[in-house]
Structure 1
Amino acid sequence: MSGAEDGLPPLAILLAAHAGAQAERHRAIWGFDGRLAKVARTTSDRTIGQMRLAWWNDVIDDADNRKGRGEPVVDAMRATGAMAAPGLVAIIDGWEVLVVEPDIDAQGLRDYAVGRGGGLFRALADAEDAPAWLTAAGQVWALWDLAGHVDDVALAQAALGQARELLPQVEGARWPRAWKPLRIAFTLARADVLAGRGAPAGMPRGLALRLLRIALVGR
């Protein structure tokens, strides 16, 4: 496993495995999201957190491809073309909500979901003009993921509530074959959101079996 892949959540690794020729690019983008998650998780000073996120913005904007050279995720993103993916800045903006807001209200949850989730799904799909249902699916996924990784029960329930409200926007969507990993991710999240559950920690056997079933039969 490369440095860019080291520490990727098991779900991200399995989802990327369904991306075919785009698997390395998907892993690089998941690695980018993981680096931002670490900033949100480990930074207690919002100013320092914003500075760490701004560094990633500078890396994305560096036309000379010099800034961050040697950092495994940066190198992987450049090698796979992921650095040019749409939605990367939005992902940073989404994570910034969790870094700077001491108490996340309903608008904060929406901003987080639109940025991280919508941006992530656009980046993985490589779709600058993504359909609205795809960004809604990304928001559902991000809210599901957040609900499973916060200790604040009220915040988790609020995230799941917003996710449920978004589900009708995705119903009936026709997923292109190339977007299979995103379809799997959304379908996993959808079932748990309807059941009032956030994302589980790690990769329990039940989640792995559900992922396999979705990959094989679509639901």
Structure 2
Amino acid sequence: MIVSDETASSALSTILVAHAGGQADRHRAIWAYDARLARVARTTSERAIGQMRLAWWNDVIADAAGVKGQGEPVVDALRDSGGMAAPGLVSMIDGWEVLVVDPEIDADGLRDYAVGRGGGLFRALADSDDAPDWLMACGEVWALWDLSGHVGDAGLADAAVDMARTILPRTDGARWPRAWKPLRLAFGLARHDVLAGVKAPAGLPRGHALRLLRLGLFGR
């Protein structure tokens, strides 16, 4: 279902990590983890095999001894940076699993994907066990926007943008701590396109890079 060989996050995350300060290594590892789950969804042709690959990641996260997966670059980066303890990692697996399991995603599937991948990702990056609803909603909007630019089904892309627009009111109470600046930038980029009814681009074109710069400098 995912047709591009990378999510927009692979280009975007490089810029966002630069705004993460002392948390840069942890943010970089979490973005790499998201990209690895995306690869599972992108390259899986048999549902059972995809679920087994995702279950392996569940086992890695649950391994308190820190043994399973040693030598795998993303696993090592998560452990070395402290990212393995981030809340939301399992939820991200649940979100990506929707794309592995459902050949045709309906509204409920889109919602589950957004809550799992997007809400889990933003909670992990914020390192917040008790993330406010508005932050989860921002993550959901971002994940739906990102998906819209990387699926071959135009109807699904439009549905993702439409659903993201319905979630936007839940983000109205956002109050961004300085440490959450990378998340604010990611959400701000997605929000602009969602309000305009525009799907995510492939990669990070010049216009979006300039918009990120403006968001970083002026907050809008």
1:136-183 superposed Cα distances (whole Å, 9 cap, x missing partner): 000000000000111101101111111000101111411111000000
Residues 30-49 of structure 1 mapped to structure 2, 5 A cutoff = 30-49=31-50
Residues 163-202 of structure 1 mapped to structure 2, 5 A cutoff = 163-202=164-203
Q: TM-score, normalization: structure 1?
A: 0.95
- Distance in 1 (CA, whole Å) between partners of 2:57 and 2:81 is 17
Tell whether 2:153 aligns with 1:149: no
Equivalenced residue count is 212
**Secondary structure of the residue that 1:28 maps to in structure 2?**
helix
Residues 27-176 of structure 1 mapped to structure 2, 5 A cutoff = 27-176=28-177
1:95-134 superposed Cα distances (whole Å, 9 cap, x missing partner): 0000000110000000000000000000000000000000
- Distance in 2 (CA, whole Å) between partners of 1:44 and 1:16 is 32
Q: Which runs of 4+ in 1 moved over 6 A?
A: none
- Distance in 1 (CA, whole Å) between partners of 2:44 and 2:71 is 23
- Distance in 2 (CA, whole Å) between partners of 1:172 and 1:79 is 34
- Distance in 2 (CA, whole Å) between partners of 1:161 and 1:39 is 26
Q: TM-score, normalization: structure 2?
A: 0.95
- Identity, % of aligned pairs? 73
Q: CA deviation at 1:55?
A: 0.3
Please tell me the root mean square deviation across aligned C-alpha atoms, in Å: 0.8
In the alignment, what sits opposite 2:6? none
- Distance in 1 (CA, whole Å) between partners of 2:193 and 2:43 is 27
Q: State whether residues 148 and 197 of structure 1, in contact with CA within 8 Å, keep that contact through their aligned partners in structure 2.
A: no
1:5-33 superposed Cα distances (whole Å, 9 cap, x missing partner): xxx71101111111110011000000000
Query: Which sections of structure 1, spanning at least 5 residues, go unmatched?
Result: 1-7
Q: State whether residues 134 and 173 of structure 2, in contact with CA within 8 Å, keep that contact through their aligned partners in structure 1.
A: no
Q: State whether residues 145 and 160 of structure 2, in contact with CA within 8 Å, keep that contact through their aligned partners in structure 1.
A: yes
Q: What letter is aligned with 2:38?
A: A
Q: State whether residues 121 and 182 of structure 1, in contact with CA within 8 Å, keep that contact through their aligned partners in structure 2.
A: yes
- Distance in 2 (CA, whole Å) between partners of 1:198 and 1:67 is 38
